[in-house]
Amino acid sequence: MTWLRSPDAHDDKRSMGVLGVVTGSARYPGAAVLGVEAAWRTGIGYVRLWAPRRVQDLVLARRPETVCHALDEAPSGVDAWLLGSGQDARERDPALRSLLLEALGGAAPCVVDAGALDLVAGHAGPTVVTPHDGELARLLGVDRDALGDRAAAALRAAATLDAVVVAKGAPTLVAAPDGTTASVDARTHRLATAGTGDVLGGVLGALVAANAGAAADPAALASISADGVRLHGEAAALAAAGDRPITALDVAEHLPQAIAERLRQR
């Protein structure tokens, strides 16, 4: 099953999903560029970014259709959130903390990465977290060396947080609070390059926003997440054809081809 869909004559930009994005920082502005790029290329109808001015400027230079907001503007009017990519909790200012907590405390589904993972325990709506192994260990309060079996650790985190856990790695594991798991093998190990996790966040955010009603069901949210991981891998494989070295932006740019191929197979 794929959670992708093509628009029809009754769709408009809002019916195709509105994704709110709170990512990037002065230190890591590129994370917002990559996540927003990936969301647009996954077929989202509308992206709204809350970020510092420098981050906004870089995103707009790449994707001028993005609607930008200052961090102190009230969050509203979105179907789902992408939070935390390219942020460091140790450098978080009060305005960003308030915004992240407000998003997590609302009913809209959230995809939570990197610098917002420490706040996820307070989430109210359906939530996906996307830790690498070090972040997964921190979520569980253990040393990385003590993480043990990755699948078991992902399941513990899913149960503890009442969230879907996308444990990034080879393979990537998708664990749901009901105890179910899916394992997604990497289509190419060329994904082992900086920024591909930010692209994955944009893909997941777009799919969750486009299917926000279904995402209220944890089983459906886990299925959406696994579908996003597979799509991300398919785009990477297209980018790396012939064993070409790739960058994260290459993965985002191949998402439309991966989507078109997926939809033709339905």
**Is the residue at 57 inside a domain?**
yes
**Is the residue at 185 inside a domain?**
yes
Is the pLDDT confidence value at 9 over 70?
Answer: yes
The total of other beta-carbon atoms located within 10 Å of residue 261's CB is 12
CATH number at residue 242: 3.40.1190.20
**How confident is the model over 205-228, as pLDDT tens digits?**
999 999 999 999 999 999 999 999
**Is the residue at 184 inside a domain?**
yes
**How confident is the model over 60-77, as pLDDT tens digits?**
999 999 999 999 999 989
- Single-letter code of the amino acid located at 71: L
Is the pLDDT confidence value at 199 over 70?
Answer: yes
DSSP string of 17-60, one letter each residue: -EEEEE---SS-THHHHHHHHHHHHTT-SEEEEE--HHHHHHHH
pLDDT value of residue 171: 96
**Is the residue at 171 inside a domain?**
yes
Q: Could you give the number of structural domains in the chain?
A: 1
The structure's pTM equals 0.97
Residue 81 sits at φ, ψ, to 5 deg, of: -120, 145
What domain range includes position 197? 18-114+122-264
Residue in the block written with tokens 């589904």: 109
- Partners of 82 in the beta sheet? 21, 111
Closest CA to 32 of 51, 14, 9: 51
- Tell me the C-alpha to C-alpha distance, in Å, between residue 208 and each of 23, 31, 128, 183, 205: 17, 19, 9, 19, 5
**How confident is the model over 151-177, as pLDDT tens digits?**
999 999 999 999 999 999 999 999 999
Average pLDDT, the chain: 96
**How confident is the model over 117-156, as pLDDT tens digits?**
999 998 999 999 999 999 999 999 998 888 889 999 999 9
**Is the residue at 12 inside a domain?**
no
**Is the residue at 2 inside a domain?**
no
Which letter, b or e, does each residue of 67-81 get, where b requires 16 or more Cβ atoms within 10 Å of its Cβ? ebbebeeebeebbbb
Is the pLDDT confidence value at 1 over 70?
Answer: no
- Helices (DSSP H) in 108-217: which residue ranges? 133-140, 150-161, 196-210
Count of residues for the chain?
Answer: 266
pLDDT value of residue 230: 97
pLDDT value of residue 148: 86
**Is the residue at 13 inside a domain?**
no
**Is the residue at 7 inside a domain?**
no
- Tell me the C-alpha to C-alpha distance, in Å, between residue 14 and each of 6, 44, 45, 46, 77: 14, 9, 6, 6, 10
**H/E segment holding residue 182:** strand 181-184
- Partners of 21 in the beta sheet? 49, 82
Please enumerate in sequence order all residues whose Cβ is within 8 A of that of 26, keeping only pairs 6 or more positions apart, or say none.
52, 54, 55
Cα separation of 21 and 103, whole Å? 10
Q: How far is CA 161 from the centre of its chain?
A: 17
- Quick one: pLDDT band at residue 266, thresholds 50, 70, 90? confident
**How confident is the model over 78-108, as pLDDT tens digits?**
999 999 999 999 999 999 999 999 999 999 9
pLDDT value of residue 109: 98
Positive or negative CA dihedral for 195, 197, 203, 206? negative
